Amino acid sequence: MRAAAARGEVVGVWTQPDRPAGRGRQLAPSPVKVEALASQLPVFQPENFKSEDAREQLRALKPDLMVVVAYGLILPQAVLDIPAQGCWNVHASLLPRWRGAAPIQRAIEAGDRETGVCLMQMEKGLDTGPVLLSLATPISDTDTGGELHDRLSALGAEVLSDGLKLLRAGMRPVPQPQPAEGVTYARKLDKAEARLDWSRPANELANKVRAFNPWPVAEAQLAGERLRIHAAQALAGGSGMAPGTVVSASRDGLDVACGDGLLRLRVVQRDGGRALPVADYLNARPALATP
């Protein structure tokens, strides 16, 4: 952002209003605001763009282009029409798959083997606009939501940089309409989803554990207590035991019976504690350990 400001490219930064954060619930600025102020850029924080005053603030800057990244609000057509080149959005999926609020986590949860980022020309619909540029990346069996987020953030910066270079050179990226087939929606994450259902297949639960790390973090009732599960892997085979039963417990992990297969818990967290490898957790619960 500072380099862009030095080139005279950024004329204003919009971010959501300061929100309560931390244990004290004090108002805190977004990271975007912090960086913008450090770069001495004008910052605007309207609740939304429904008022004419909020739209006039944007209109007064006469922007050529507006770039939107994880803003969290749907922009009305009256705002999309203000910049001369319209509005671009950096979206963390390969559209039309995973339109919506949580594309990174939903891709992992669904077991997708590939995802990516799209630079999209915004229109009134939810992530329905034509794609200008895109970059893909594989999803490994160990990628967490946090790890994939960081990788896609870097790709998002790359695809936006590529688009801006073309625009400055007078070669505006050609909009490609999204296909009608393959549309899926990535609904917003809800903490209620974090509870694991042991009757489900182990591979499905392993995907959820990865997707929900670092938030909201998967959890389950196990061996008489609630555990938050930060890392796990699916194991083939069955035990003949009821789902939710601890089949074995060793330094390698807690193996729990599922509707199909076993889920090996590797890193867990007790209420009020911190995340620990299972080997350390068993030091506090030695009765669970199996020979």
95 is in an annotated binding site: yes
Tokens of 76: 């009305």
CA distances from 22 to 19, 41, 108, 208, 261 (A): 10, 26, 28, 26, 39
In angstroms, rounded to a whole number, what is the distance separating the alpha carbons of residues 116 and 231? 23
Residue 162 and residue 132 in contact, taking contact as beta carbons nearer than 8 Å: no
Tokens of 248: 């074995």
29 is in an annotated binding site: no
Q: Is the dihedral of CA 154, 159, 160, 165 positive or negative?
A: positive
Q: Which residues pair with 231 in a beta bridge?
A: 267
263 is in an annotated binding site: no
In angstroms, rounded to a whole number, what is the distance separating the alpha carbons of residues 277 and 269? 9
46 is in an annotated binding site: no
- Reference 73, options 17, 135, 12, 129; nearest CA is 17
Q: 257-286 b/e with 16+ CB inside 10 Å = b?
A: bbebbbbbbbbbbeeeeebbebeebbeeee
DSSP per-residue string spanning 37-102: HHTT--EE--S-S-SHHHHHHHHHT--S-EEESS--SPPPHHHHTSSTT-EEEEESS-TTTTEES-
**What is the DSSP pairing of strand 185-186 with strand 99-100?**
parallel
In angstroms, rounded to a whole number, what is the distance separating the alpha carbons of residues 218 and 98? 21
- One-letter amino acid identity for 119? L
Residues contributing to the annotated binding site: 93-96
Residues contributing to the annotated binding site for (6S)-5,6,7,8-tetrahydrofolate: 93-96
